[in-house]
């Protein structure tokens, strides 16, 4: 069986492609850097990949709302390729700016028909500015999300100015909660697992004051996943903010690699079965 080919999008101010590729490689995948224009111009085709990743960055400088312009490039320039990819049951991840892109283009939280209709957004943090700090995430164990299977909590850096997850219609939140789409939430690390709550946690445990502490969501199928924090930036144990306090730890890959490994293995499994 060929290795899982991962299209890691690049260009226009995306800037986390290096570490996103590294994380997929550590997870056993075969990541390839794909400039968005190569897909638009037809030099490359998404159909030839098994996973698509939209990395973090500052696409188009975050002007006109983070993720908006790149989201439009995908929504208008790659509409058919993207819909075909998702409907074929292939995993997609958007991280930070990539998550903003997927939300703005309507792929997340999304719908069964993949209509690409925007139903949520990521507003300016309540602090009104960009921040880089570490947070703890808790995952919904009942979620259909294939990316977070087996994970309970991980620590991750957050690095964004617009990460407050909001919707226009609060009832949608209840629906998404029921279907397990509100998959990742900021959590107080001093609480026992499971400790996730809908009550907005104090700053900076919730760095952006997101509704219901939402840090990441998936689509109804659990294949498309996006989150504001950066699991790819914690691929090795020595990248945490306080690893020097952890005594004689066994150094190597960090727990957040599981996210990437889950998708790579899911893809392999699917191909084995067909």
Stretch that binds another protein, among 62-70, 84-92, 215-223, 260-268 (CB under 8 A): 62-70
* Contact by Cβ (8 Å): 26, 257: yes
Q: How far is CA 171 from CA 117, 200, 238, in A?
A: 17, 17, 42
Tell me: does residue 256 bind another protein (CB under 8 A): no
Q: Is 96 a catalytic residue?
A: yes
Concatenating the DSSP letter of every residue in 220-264 gives TTS-EEEESS-GGG--BGGGSTTGGGS-S---SB-TTHHHHHHHH
Tell me: does residue 272 bind another protein (CB under 8 A): no
Tell me: does residue 32 bind another protein (CB under 8 A): no
Beta bridge mates, 30 = 5
Closest separation in Å from C-beta 204 to another protein: 8
Beta bridge mates, 33 = 8
Q: How far is CA 270 from CA 53, 125, 265, in A?
A: 18, 39, 9
Tell me: does residue 52 bind another protein (CB under 8 A): no
When the beta carbons of 50 and 230 are compared against another protein, the nearer one is: 230
What is the side-by-side order of every strand in the sheet holding 153-160?
30-35, 5-10, 51-54, 92-95, 224-227, 214-218, 184-186, 131-139, 153-160
Torsion of CA 128, 129, 133, 136, to 10 degrees: 30
Residues 6+ positions from 33 with CB-CB distance below 8 Å: 8, 10, 17, 21
Please tell me whether residue 78 adopts helix, strand or coil conformation: coil
Tell me: does residue 133 bind another protein (CB under 8 A): yes
Interface mask toward another protein for 176-215; x: CB under 8 A? ---------------------------xx----x-x----
- Selected binder of another protein within 5, 28, 83, 118 (CB under 8 A): 118
- Selected binder of another protein within 49, 134, 176, 186 (CB under 8 A): 134
Indicate which residue of 96, 145, 218, 235 is catalytic.
96
Closest separation in Å from C-beta 168 to another protein: 5
Q: Is 232 a catalytic residue?
A: yes
Tell me: does residue 69 bind another protein (CB under 8 A): yes
Question: Where does this chain bind another protein (CB under 8 A)?
Answer: 10-13, 15-16, 18-19, 22, 26, 35, 37-38, 41, 56-58, 60-65, 68-69, 72-73, 76-77, 104, 118-121, 123-134, 157, 159, 166-168, 170, 203-204, 209, 211, 230, 232-236, 238-239, 241-242, 244-245, 251
Just list the catalytic residues.
96, 230, 232
């Amino acid at each position: 069986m060929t290795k899982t080919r991962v299209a890691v999008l690049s260009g226009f101010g995306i800037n986390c492609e290096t570490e996103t590729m590294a994380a997929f490689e550590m997870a056993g995948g075969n990541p390839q850097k794909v400039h968005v224009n190569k897909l638009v111009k037809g030099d490359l085709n998404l159909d030839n990949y098994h996973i698509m990743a939209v990395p973090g960055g500052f696409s188009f400088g975050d002007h006109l709302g983070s993720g908006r312009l790149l989201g439009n490039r995908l929504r208008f320039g790659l509409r058919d390729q993207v819909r075909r990819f998702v409907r074929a049951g292939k995993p997609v991840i958007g991280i930070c700016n990539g998550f903003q892109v997927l939300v703005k283009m309507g792929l997340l939280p999304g719908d069964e028909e993949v209509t690409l209709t925007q139903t949520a957004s990521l507003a300016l943090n309540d602090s009104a500015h960009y921040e880089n700090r570490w947070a703890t995430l808790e995952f919904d164990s009942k979620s259909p999300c294939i990316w977070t299977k087996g994970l309970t909590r991980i620590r991750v850096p957050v690095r964004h100015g617009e990460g407050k997850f909001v919707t226009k219609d609060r009832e949608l939140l209840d629906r998404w909660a029921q279907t397990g789409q509100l998959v990742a939430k900021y959590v107080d690390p001093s609480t026992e697992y499971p400790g996730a709550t809908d009550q907005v946690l104090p700053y900076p445990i919730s760095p952006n004051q997101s509704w219901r502490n939402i840090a990441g969501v998936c689509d109804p199928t659990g294949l498309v996943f996006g989150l504001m924090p950066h699991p790819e930036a914690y691929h090795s144990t020595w990248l945490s903010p306080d690893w020097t306090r952890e005594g004689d730890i066994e150094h190597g890959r960090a727990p957040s690699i599981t996210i990437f490994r889950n998708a790579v293995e899911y893809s392999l499994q699917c191909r084995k079965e067909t």
